[in-house]
Amino acid sequence: MSNNLHNHWESVYQQKAADTVSWYRPHLERSLDFIGRAQLVPDDPLIDVGGGTSTLVDDLLDRGHRDVTVLDLSEAALGQARLRLGARADQVRWLQADVTRFTFDVDAYGFWHDRAVFHFLTDAEARGRYASAVRRALRPGGHLLVATFSLDGPARCSGLPVMRHSAETLKAEFENGFTWIDSAEERHVTPSAANQSFVYGYFQRNSKSGI
């Protein structure tokens, strides 16, 4: 894990309220729609990568999911989410880690959600480590949803450069081990009323060859 990157995100979450960061939405409706399509049962394990202070975990618990993990590089972000959830925080597994460096258990999850991390991986090697992590952690038949800034989206976020994607470039990033299912586009309105373009890539995990 890069200490500089860790310190950057600690500073962001220490200085800004959760509902003022640019990626904030009261509810991640598009993500919830895709998760609903996966027809998970309550005990299917689900991970929100880069979940930070997102309210997705709240909505998942409200919908009856009983095996939810939230991973983020920032302990400050995870602390804010735990505080918001109160007693319900004990129903969630919290991981403070760099997703590109963390060693996941094999077949750990039935759904992998990311609306926060992948577009910050501007280095091809880091994207390769990320894809390898998903291949390891996602069980056969499991679902992967990755959202990034689209080609006409911002070139930077929170002071960091990002790599913008199209549906086709997302498909290429996960061609090894996954079947492409669908994509979607979204215009996100930030708390400061700016418009940001997102693209979602939705995949299903193949067999475990090529972990």
pLDDT at 210 over 60: no
The DSSP element (H or E) to which 84 belongs, if any, is: helix 75-85
User: Is residue 62 a part of any domain in this protein?
Assistant: yes
Q: Does 201 map to a domain? A: yes
Residue 180 belongs to domain with CATH number: 3.40.50.150
Position 121 in a domain: yes
Question: What predicted TM-score, i.e. pTM, was given to this entire model?
Answer: 0.94
Q: Which of 18-27, 116-125, 192-201 has the lowest mean pLDDT?
A: 18-27
Q: Is residue 21 part of a domain?
A: yes
CA atoms within 13 A on the CB side of 92: 29
pLDDT at 188: 93
Range of the structural domain that residue 189 is part of: 3-205
Looking at every residue in the chain, the average pLDDT score rounds to: 94
pLDDT of 5 > 90? The answer is no
Q: For 81-111, how does the pLDDT look when each residue is reduced to its tens digit (9 = 90+)?
A: 999 999 999 999 999 999 999 999 999 999 9
Q: In what order do the strands lie in the sheet with 138-149?
A: 92-96, 68-72, 46-49, 109-114, 138-149, 195-205, 178-189
Could you tell me the two tokens for 61? 């618990």
Confirm if 145 and 111 have CB atoms less than 8 A apart.
yes
Give the separation between CA 190 and CA 181, rounded to whole angstroms: 28
Split into its structural domains, the chain has a count of 1
Q: Is 176 among the domain residues?
A: yes
The mean pLDDT of 182-196, rounded to a whole number, is: 93
